[in-house]
Amino acid sequence: MFLGLDSSTQSLSAVILDPASGEILASHSVNFGNDLPQYGSPSGFIPGGKDGEVHANPLMWLEALDLLFNKLSKEADLSQIQIIAGSGQQHGSVYLGAGFDAALSKLDAGKGLVEQLSPELTRNTSPIWMDTSTGEECAEITAALGGSSEVCARSGSVAIERFTGPQIRRFSKQDGEAYSATTRIHLVSSFIASVLAGKSLPIDYGDGAGMNLLNLADLAWDTDLLEATAPDLGNKLLPPASCLEQQGTVSAYFTEKYGVPSSCKVCPFTGDNPASLVGMGATTPGQVVISLGTSDTFFAAMPDAKTDPQGFGHVFGNPAGGFMSLICFRNGSLAREAIRDELGVDWSAFEKGALQLTELSAGKNLTLPFYGAEITPRHDFGSPVTEFIEEPTPALRIRSLLEGQFLNMKLHSAWMGVTTDRIRLTGGASKNDGIAQLVADVFQAPVERLDVANSAALGTALIAATVGGNDLEALQKIFCKPAPDSLLQPNPALAGKYSTALEQFGKLLAATIGA
């Protein structure tokens, strides 16, 4: 049996699977808001942060770990677990003092993790990925390196507010004393992995690439970026590693308390997005994942560490080797809901039948589909910009907005230089056949829908099984199956129309944002 964990923004989840039977034996989740209300973090972070700060309490993650193992041990025979892998929400950081590793090595199973590890924190809270407070630090790091294209070429992303390097810099400037007392900085992922292993484990390449500190060319911390970020930073980080390199066995704490065997191996944890790439069965180049949520995300495997010349996309390590892209679009369901409400229609107007009625107008009318600020491209649009050659009926406005969303995705993922052989669509709106068909038509690639409740936890359980000697691709065929009858083929008759539309969309965008 193999255990995968994912410590995300709102919950800590576990999946236990058996590759031999092809079955998921147990899955469990601790919801921080509902199950640990004493931390006052209904959505997993401390509300009311100032100046763009969004922090979480790392003790909440520890308490969730005890709670999760407690629940799991009642549901499954944990003595059968051979390997544990895992992931965490990306970019969040935990600050620890000189006694951390010693405390980990002598955890007492008679006590809880919180009471034993809280004295080792040098910072009570952890900035997480929602934090936007580090604009000044991003500018300073960028200037020190001689420009954003240099930061991007080295680390896979321009300096970004939520990324860990700028966050560390802000802490070192704000509280130099606490920063100096910090001897180890962990990501959420490596923090949880370390507690499980009873010693500090390295940050993995997948998650480490979300720090603006990892040099993608040599997969080592970049000395110039370290220096531009904060004093003595290199000594506070362990050298990065692959999440496929197991790093010793589980701490006696988990053996005595929950029955995990002392022979159980622990791997470095990765980021939730790299783990999702695995859980969505998309680790080979050519496979693209589009997740339709409040924001939309596009991620895909890449053989080489290419970076986005415009600096909107990010490059992380792919757990299966090579790299992956991650591109976030703020105006996902936000925009779909905005036009729905503006036109006073319901979701049936977005369904396949409704969209088919306007198919003759495919690609004819353009919409820059942004209500307010967007991050890809970075621009505050205020409201959508349209260029219609037909009467803008509600049906045509919906078609044009959706086309605009996926043309924008296609335009801003072209830098990867990877052909799209198959798209795996997930997230709430993926169930809508009309939207899914439009994705297939704009990208001219088949679309499959995957309804995986927690693709990151599943992905890490697959990583654990792979480390245990199983073939990842074979596992993905079993565990990452598309929903039955969910395959949609592109309509080849629309290929020419959408390639013209893509060109025109690019021109309208450039004219609007002055690029």
Nearer to ligand XUL (CB atom), residue 198 or residue 210: 210
Nearer to ligand XUL, 236 or 314 (CB): 314
Q: Which is nearer to ligand XUL, 7 or 27 (CB)?
A: 7
- Whether the CB-CB separation of 314 and 326 falls below 8 Å is answered with yes
Q: Which is closer to ligand XUL, CB of 202 or CB of 271? A: 271
- In the complex, least distance from residue 316 CB atom to ligand XUL, rounded to whole angstroms: 8
d(CA 454, CA 267): 19
Question: How do 184-187 and 55-56 pair as beta strands?
Answer: unpaired
In angstroms, give the least distance from the CB of 450 to ligand XUL. 17
Closer of 55 and 91 to ligand XUL (Cβ):
91
State in angstroms the smallest separation of the CB of 8 from ligand XUL: 6
CB of 129 to ligand XUL, least distance (A): 4
Task: Assess contact for 467 and 81: CB atoms under 8 A.
Answer: no
**Quick one: 91 or 236, whose CB is closer to ligand XUL?**
91
CB of 477 to ligand XUL, least distance (A): 26
Comparison of 89 and 460: residue with beta carbon closer to ligand XUL = 89
* Residue found under tokens 């040098």: 122
Measured CA distances, 265 to 17, 81, 102, 247, 441 (Å): 15, 9, 20, 7, 45
H-run or E-run covering 440:
helix 433-443
Residue in 96, 94, 95, 116 with CA at minimum distance from that of residue 105: 116
DSSP state letters, 444-489: TS-EEE---TTHHHHHHHHHHHHHTT--HHHHHHHHSPPPTT--B-
CB of 132 or CB of 242, closer to ligand XUL: 132
User: CA–CA separation, 472 vs 475, rounded Å?
Assistant: 5
DSSP string for residues in 275-343 = HHHHHTT--STTEEEEEESSSEEEEEEESS----TTS-SEEEE-TTSSEEEEEEES-SHHHHHHHHHHH
Q: Which is nearer to ligand XUL, 202 or 274 (CB)?
A: 274
Which residues fall within 8 angstroms of residue 404, CB to CB, at 6 or more apart? 366, 367, 368, 369, 384, 505
Q: How far is the CB of 128 from ligand XUL (least distance, A)?
A: 8
Question: What amino acid is encoded at 453 in this protein?
Answer: A
Q: Tell me whether residue 212 or residue 361 sits nearer to ligand XUL (CB atom).
A: 212
DSSP for 252-274 reads HHHHHHH---TT-EEPPPEEHHH
Enumerate binding residues for ligand XUL (CB under 6 A).
Answer: 8-9, 89-91, 129, 162, 210, 271-273, 326
At closest approach, how far in Å is the CB of 82 from ligand XUL? 27
Q: How many residues does the chain have?
A: 515
Encode burial over 293-320: b for 16+ CB neighbours within 10 A, e otherwise: eebbbbbbbbeebbbbebbbbbbbbbbb
Alpha carbon 75 to chain centroid distance?
29
Q: Which is nearer to ligand XUL, 45 or 254 (CB)?
A: 45
Q: How large is the C-alpha radius of gyration of the chain?
A: 23
Nearest approach, Cβ of residue 207 and ligand XUL (Å): 9
The least distance separating ligand XUL from the CB of residue 9, rounded to whole angstroms, comes to: 6
Least distance to ligand XUL, CB of residue 297, Å: 7
How near is the Cβ of 470 to ligand XUL at its closest, in Å? 26
Question: Smaller CB distance to ligand XUL: residue 156 or 198?
Answer: 156
**What six digits make up the tokens of 431?**
């169930």
Residue 136 beta carbon to ligand XUL: minimum distance, rounded to whole angstroms: 20
> What CA–CA distance (Å, rounded) separates 63 from 83?
22
Amino acid sitting at position 134: T
Which CB atom, from 126 or from 361, has the smaller least distance to ligand XUL? 126
β partners of residue 23: 18
| C-beta nearest to ligand XUL: residue | 90
Q: Which residues contact residue 381 at a Cβ distance below 8 angstroms, ignoring those fewer than 6 apart?
A: 368, 370, 371, 372, 373, 374, 512
CB of 344 to ligand XUL, least distance (A): 33
